[in-house]
Amino acid sequence: MKDLTQSLLDTEDEVMLRDAARGFLADASPVSALRANRDAGRAHDPALWAEMAQMGWTGVLIPEDAGGADMGHRAAGILAEEMGRVLAASPYLSTAVIAASVLRQAGPRGTGALQAIAAGEATYALALDEGPKFAPATTALKAERQGNAFRLSGVKAFVADGSTAGRVLLLARTSGMPGDTEGLTLFDIDADRAGLQRQALSTIDSRDHARLVFDGVTATGDDIIGDLDAGLAALRPGVQAGQAALAAELTGLAGGAAAITLGYLKERKQFDRTIGSFQALQHRAAHLWSEIEVTLSAIANAGRVLDATPDDAALAVSLAKARAAQTAKLAVSEAVQMHGGIGMTDAYDIGFFMKRARVGAEWLGDYGHHAAIIAAARGF
């Protein structure tokens, strides 16, 4: 029997995980739950997060001795894909994927935090972007040394889960100039720390994003993850895991939008015919399906590579994110167009897919960012 962890096919365990996730999310977090959250002015439902913790999803990337299920990045991607399919909103990416991957590398300091994440008690936000594009090296937010402590001042412009998370992973400049890849340091601080002001943003995807203003927030050496001035290295496992899982979410989103659209094409009648019988629409649906199939391979590959050779995963991760951003864009554009007028209404769900796809395309690096990494890796 072939060892399927060497292939891009789902193993038996992965098939079971996917089925279980799909079944659970269909009941617990259909798209209507996102609508209900939005209408209630709530970014996500803490009860859903608690249920995810009970199923071990919060500990998907956390070692068993810290209370996690340690299922690996491919499994984390499968969960993200299923969440994307129904637009389930939760701190999963920020906390269970990004923060867990960072803290896992943080030695004994991280163990307590990992236990809290696995138990569903701690949530995290990654405070990185200061401008409209993902570019960690341009970080300007200052961490000035004051004796044994640091004084943090500056603004993080776009922080996913930033207004609700209990803790913040913060990239700050301890030396050098914006643009330098060195001189950055990663801090892990309580979100309630004095001088940290969190302004919730009203974003198109109805999820929690915030602007974080640091006005002389105090941090100590104990708050540092990894080494002083080596924050990008400490951050890398989290960013790559997050990019891969976000790519999976976007591809699940594309599949979800395509499935709803296909259902509509098979049902809607015009000119006394089911519109899905028109070849013009059939070819577009078939092309979209092809693009999703191809992207699914890049998603599976990124998970496998992160599990097998995490130090050599840059190409695989960027390929997944680049393809996923393009594919999700195509899927939601086609979905709205093929729905016609009803696709433009707020009462119909498909618009939610379009809005989340746009946010996901930007977060953690857009198509151009990742295509450039691929081009460099491929000898352009």
Partner 1 sequence: MSDATEALAAFRAEISAWIIDNCPAALLGRPMDESAIVWGGRNWTFADDDQRLWLDRAISRGLTAPRWPVEYGGAGLSRAQEKIYREEMARIGAPPPLESFGLWMLGPALLEFGNPAQKAEHLPPITRGEIRWCQGYSEPGAGSDLANVQTRAEDMGDHWLVNGQKIWTSYADKADWIFALVRTDRDAPKHKGISFLLMDMDTPGITTRPIRLISGKSPFCETFFDNVKVPKKNLVGELNRGWDIAKYLLTHEREMIGGGASGLLGGRSIGQILAAQDGNVLADPILRAEAMQAEVDALAFNLTMGRYKDQAEAGRGVGNASAMLKYYGTELNKRRYELLMATAGSDGLEWDGAHGGLAPEWLRTKANSIEGGTSEVMLDIIAKRVLEMPGQ
Residues that bind partner 1 (CB under 8 A): 1-2, 4, 7-9, 262, 265-266, 274, 276-277, 279, 282-283, 285-287, 289-290, 293-298, 300-301, 315, 319, 322-323, 326, 371-372, 374-375, 378-380
Q: Which is nearer to partner 1, 145 or 283 (CB)?
A: 283
Instruction: Outline where the chain has alpha helix (H).
Output: 12-28, 31-39, 46-54, 73-86, 100-103, 108-118, 231-265, 279-308, 314-339, 350-362, 367-377
In angstroms, give the least distance from the CB of 249 to partner 1.
Answer: 17
What is the closest distance, in whole angstroms, from the C-beta atom of residue 35 to partner 1 in the complex? 27
Contact 87, 34 (CB under 8 A): yes
Residue with tokens 């259909």: 30
CB of residue 150 to partner 1, shortest distance in Å: 40
In DSSP notation, 239-287 reads HHHHHHHHHHHHHHHHHHHHHHHHHHHTT-EETTEEGGG-HHHHHHHHH
Alpha-carbon separation of residue 364 from 129, 210, 214, 337 (angstroms)? 9, 15, 21, 28
Nearer to partner 1 among residue 254 and residue 265 (C-beta) = 265
Q: Which is nearer to partner 1, 207 or 370 (CB)?
A: 370
User: Where is 211: in which H helix or E strand?
Assistant: strand 208-220
Start-to-end Cα distance in the chain: 39
142: exposed, middle or buried (C-beta count within 10 Å: 0-12, 13-18, 19+)?
A: middle
Q: Is residue 363 helix, strand or coil?
A: coil
Q: Report the C-alpha gap between 54 and 68 in whole angstroms.
A: 11
* CA-wise closest residue to 184 among 157, 207, 150: 150
Shortest Cβ 96–partner 1 spacing (Å) = 26
CB of 61 or CB of 338, closer to partner 1: 338
Closest CA to 157 of 193, 113, 203: 203
Q: How far is the CB of 31 from partner 1 (least distance, A)?
A: 21
Shortest separation between residue 243's beta carbon and partner 1, angstroms: 14
Nearer to partner 1, 95 or 261 (CB): 261
By CB atoms closer than 10 A (0-12, 13-18, 19+), residue 262 is middle
- Quick one: 348 or 367, whose CB is closer to partner 1? 367
Answer for the pair 74, 300: CB distance below 8 angstroms, yes or no: yes
Q: What is the closest distance, in whole angstroms, from the C-beta atom of residue 292 to partner 1 in the complex?
A: 10
What's the closest the beta carbon of residue 327 comes to partner 1, in angstroms? 9
- Cβ partners under 8 Å of residue 11, min gap 6: 4, 5
Q: How many Cα atoms occupy the beta-carbon half-sphere of 182 within 13 Å?
A: 1
Question: Shortest Cβ distance from residue 301 to partner 1 (Å)?
Answer: 5
Q: Closest CB to partner 1 among 133 and 283?
A: 283
Cβ proximity to partner 1, 7 vs 309, nearer residue: 7
Burial string for 354-378 (b: 16+ CB within 10 Å, else e) reads: bbbbbbbbbbbbbbebbbebbeeee
CB of 296 to partner 1, least distance (A): 8
